[in-house]
Amino acid sequence: MPIEKFSREKVLSVHRWTGNLFSFTLTRPAHFKFSAGQFARIGLKVGDELVVRAYSVVSSPFDEKLEFFSIVVPDGAFTSNLQHLKVGDELYLEKIPYGFLTLARYQLPLPQDLWLLATGTGLAPFISMLQDFDTWTKYARIYLVYSVRTQSELAYVERIQQIAATFGEGHGGFRFIPVVTRDPDAALHERLPVLISSGELEQAAGAEFNPATTHVMLCGNPQMVDDTRAALKARGLSMNRRGEGNIAVENYW
């Protein structure tokens, strides 16, 4: 990967959520424009080699900084180095963003109900979308569903509450629905496809999937994306192709 395709950016902050989950912010160069939901390619020098990985942007397109949410992949060449990141370090940022998990991709059905379904670090693009006023003006109802294994992995909950208070003021149609799969005491603890097939997820949201009005975005574990897509199709929803259809997806790794 030619190094000229990258700019060098400084680490401004690092926040550790758990032993293997952390977020960091980088300086944002003026040329780096993106839409909420897109990802950046970040490079790290490992010896002489530039190792590059894709990361969805957490921050809004209007932020001065770029924020990212990462898991430490055991023995991963990239994240096992990245986890030692400190303020002041430098990372490489590819100059252009990528990805089609953006609300602009939807033409039909017209926007009305938006379901954002994430597992783990797949939450990132949805935090970006929720910090864009366009999302709140387009959709009458927004359901953010976030599945993690344990309570301690529920990162960004306070931030979600702040976003809902700031952007959702007077909106009234936002629900945050956490799912904690390895905690039998959690209000919702089955995997997303099970919750969809049983109707439990809709019950928790107080809403139903409707092929004529619903947009659903999935991001996270690739197996979750496949299984959830199948469960949604069984409920009559269709994949979004060339602008039409209900379901848009992004595998996170």
Stretch that binds ligand NAP, among 39-47, 84-92, 204-212, 221-229 (CB under 6 A): 221-229
49-56/113-119 β-pairing: unpaired
Q: Indicate the helix (H) or strand (E) that contains 162.
A: helix 157-167
Residue nearest to ligand NAP (CB): 120
120 binds ligand NAP (CB under 6 A): yes
67 binds ligand NAP (CB under 6 A): no
Any idea what DSSP says for residue 233?
H
Closer to ligand NAP by CB, 22 or 106: give it: 22
The answer to whether the bond into 109 is cis (omega within 30° of 0) is: yes
Stretch that binds ligand NAP, among 39-47, 107-115, 144-152, 207-215 (CB under 6 A): 144-152
CA angle 195, 69, 39 (to 5 degrees): 90
Choice from 119, 128, 240, 246 touching ligand NAP (CB under 6 A): 119
C-alpha–C-alpha distance, residues 42 and 56, integer Å: 10
C-alpha–C-alpha distance, residues 106 and 241, integer Å: 9
Closer to ligand NAP by CB, 78 or 136: give it: 78
Query: To the nearest whole angstrom, how small is the minimum distance from the Cβ of residue 143 to ligand NAP?
Result: 17
Choice from 28, 41, 191, 215 touching ligand NAP (CB under 6 A): 191
Closer to ligand NAP by CB, 53 or 136: give it: 53
In a 13 Å sphere around the CA of 90, the CA atoms on its Cβ side amount to 7
Phi then psi for residue 124, to 5 deg, are -50, -55
Q: Applying CB under 6 A, which residues contact ligand NAP?
A: 71, 73, 119-121, 147-149, 181-182, 191-193, 221, 223-224, 227, 252-253
